[in-house]
Amino acid sequence: MSTIALTPLDLALAANLLAINAAISWGFGLRLERSIALAAARMVVQLALIGLVLKFIFAQTSPVWTLALVLVMAAAAGVEVVTRQHRRLKGWQALGLSSATLLFIGVAITSLGVGVIIGPEPWYAPRYVLPILGMVLGNAMTAMTLVLNTFCETLVRERAAIEARLALGAERREAVSGALRTSLRTGMTPILNSMATTGIVALPGMMTGQILAGADPLEAVKYQILIMFLIAAATALAAFFGGLGAMLLLTDKRHRLRLERLAAAA
Amino acid sequence: MLRVEHLQAGTLPPLTFEVAAGECLAIEGPSGAGKTLLLRAIADLDPAPGQVFLNGAERNEWRRYVRYCAAEPAWWSDAPREAFKGAASGRAERLLHALGLDAAVLDRAVAALSTGERQRLALARALLDEPLVLLLDEPTAALDPQAAALVEELIKYQTLAGRSAILVSHDRGQIERLAHARLLLSKPETASVAAAAAP
């Protein structure tokens, strides 16, 4: 495999493209210039840092370092799920729910993909574990965010109808089943769209990266197929646990709706 | 039958009272006095300190036997039919007939029904599987006198059959016709149960 190394000058040349974003912002008075500059700076710094971290961890090939980064990634994904909510769940339970669930899903699915299917030597080889975990976590995080957002919004909007069912003797699972179904469908739709259009509309980033790095396109495609299946399972699990957890947190054992556990809309 | 012990709904003081089988208790008071809050707390829709026992059983054991009808009933499907699924054969039709409604109303869109039709459908829905206690929040507020009379007849029939009812109403005449006892919520600190003349 061979790659053409990029020089800082090459990247600086590409950075000039942001002038297009800035021009549109300026032309329409969007006042996004500052945000564009900040987001671009964050992207460069964050990627540079993770590049250094990965270089260090790849050099160690130690299960402890790999595990440490796994924990950091899962926690960051959990925080992201909570902060992206329009109506957040109050207290630490939401953060605990999202971080713990994402950690479980990330570890389970990545172990299956890397440990059982790919089988690198050693099995915890960070070169395989971390990129795959990143993709699994990123997609699981999106699914969980969508599910929680839709579920909480639906409960607030349909409160009267849900309480009508509870007042007629329905149990909590029965009363919120409609909201749960809607939110699970919302959480699982992006991966279905992605699977259905991949290769036609979009060439996935990982496959493109492997091809750019000199891999045989057919090998890259096989990896991409594996990843898509892993992501599909991860998003389904994230949607399921997210929905189930939110249902348990927003109702109680006496089958009451507990919407006061939601913070006011952001 | 239904015993409320030190139940504290919203800013109301803790209330203790009992509604016997076949009895109707009316809750009276001006708007904002907390009548709906009290009814919701009895129905265990909102967390509230205190206890409510049905024939000695605690709340989680009796939820299927106590039905709460909101002043503005909500629906979870496009047509009311969904809410009447699983009812004993002919029961829905008999209830609707008693309330002056045709069974065809079950298949019309909820959005196309009048407020009064929705209110009577909600009462029928609550009575489907013969609950022991009815918690009714202004059940005739949206009804013309004729339909209101049918609803009152049905409530009376329910109490005669041994069921209990707690009725929130602003209609003095209705309270006199239906209630065996009254709970007056004027100011939170003076809430009291007063016996009313037998209807």
User: CB–CB of A256 and B46 under 8 A?
Assistant: yes
Q: Do A178 and B70 touch (CB under 8 A)?
A: no
In a domain, A230, yes or no: yes
Closest residue, chain A, to B136 (C-alpha): A167
Q: Give the single-character DSSP code of B167.
A: E
Sign of CA dihedral A175, A181, A182, A187: positive
Least confident of A121-125, A166-170, A188-192: A121-125
Contact A164 B76 (CB under 8 A): yes
Residues A218 and A104 in one domain: yes
- Chain A residues touching residue B60 (CB < 8 angstroms): 253-255
Q: Which of A19, A40, A60 is the last residue of a domain?
A: A60
Same domain, A165 and A241: yes
Strand partners, B13: none
Q: Is the ipTM of this complex over 0.85?
A: yes
pLDDT band at A264 (very low <50, low <70, confident <90, very high): confident
- Residue pair A249/A148 in contact by the 8 Å Cβ criterion: no
Tell me which chain A residues have a C-beta less than 8 angstroms from the C-beta of B82.
none
Contact (CB<8Å) A164/B64:
no
**Quick one: average pLDDT of A17-22?**
94
Q: Where are the domains of chain B?
A: 2-195
Domain boundary among A21, A43, A60: A60
CB within 8 Å of chain A, chain B residues 60-89: 60, 63-70, 72-76, 83
Whole-angstrom distance, CA of residue B73 vs CA of residue B70: 5
Whether residue A266 is contained in a domain is answered as no
* Residues A142 and A41 grouped into a single domain: no
Is residue B117 within 8 Å of residue B101, measured between CB atoms? yes
| Contacts with B44 from chain A: Cβ below 8 Å | 254-256
Regarding whether A18 and A104 lie in a shared domain, the answer is: no
Q: What is the DSSP string of B20-56?
A: -TT-EEEEE--TTSSHHHHHHHHTTSS--SSEEEETT
Q: How many residues does chain B have?
A: 199
Cα of B69 to nearest chain A Cα, Å: 8
Give me chain A's average pLDDT, please: 92
Query: Is A232 in the same domain as A250?
Result: yes
Residue A88 sits in the same domain as residue A7: no
Binary contact (A254, B68; C-beta < 8 A): no
A116, A102: one domain:
yes
3-state secondary structure A151-201: HHHHHHHCHHHHHHHHHCCCCHHHHCHHHHHHHHHHHHHHHHHHHHHECCC
Q: A2 and A110, same structural domain? A: no
Domain assignment present for A90: yes
A55 part of a folded domain: yes
Q: Is the pLDDT of residue A19 over 80?
A: yes
Chain B residue at shortest CA distance from A174: B76
Confidence at residue A114, expressed as pLDDT on a 0 to 100 scale: 93
A48 three-state secondary structure: helix
**For residue B54, how far is the Cα from the chain centroid?**
16
User: Is A251 found in the same domain as A177?
Assistant: yes
Number of structural domains found in chain A: 2
A31 and A120 fall within a common domain: no
Residue B130 contacts A where some CB pair is shorter than 8 Å: no
To the nearest 10°, report the CA torsion of B163, B169, B175, B178.
Answer: -20
C-beta atoms of A164 and B43 within 8 A? no
pLDDT at A245: 94
Domain range spanning residue A14?
1-60
| pLDDT number for residue B199 | 45
CATH class, domain B2-195, is: alpha beta
Residues 166-205 of A with CB under 8 A from B: 166-169, 178
CB contact (8 A) between residue B65 and residue A167: no
Tens of pLDDT, residue by residue over B131-175, are: 999 999 999 998 999 999 999 999 999 999 999 999 999 999 999
- How far apart CA A89 and CA A261 sit, in angstroms, is 6
Q: Is residue B197 over pLDDT 70?
A: no
A165, A168, A180, A250, best to mutate vs chain B, most B CBs in 10 Å: A168
- Return the residue in B76, B110, B166 with the most chain A beta carbons within 10 A, the one to mutate for interface testing: B76
* Chain B residues with CB-CB distance to A253 below 8 A: 60
Q: What is the pTM of this model?
A: 0.86
- Find chain B residues with C-beta within 8 A of A162's C-beta: 76
- Would you call A254 and B44 a contact, using CB atoms and an 8 Å cutoff? yes
Tens digits of residue pLDDT in A53-64:
999 999 988 899
- Chain B residues touching A252 at Cβ < 8 A: 47
Composition of chain A by helix, strand, coil, percent to 5: 75, 0, 20
Tell me what pLDDT residue B40 has: 95
Pair (A55, A162) in one structural domain: no
A257 and A147: one domain?
yes
CB–CB contact B63 A255 (8 Å): yes
Q: What confidence tens digit (pLDDT) does each residue in B19-30 have?
A: 999 999 999 999
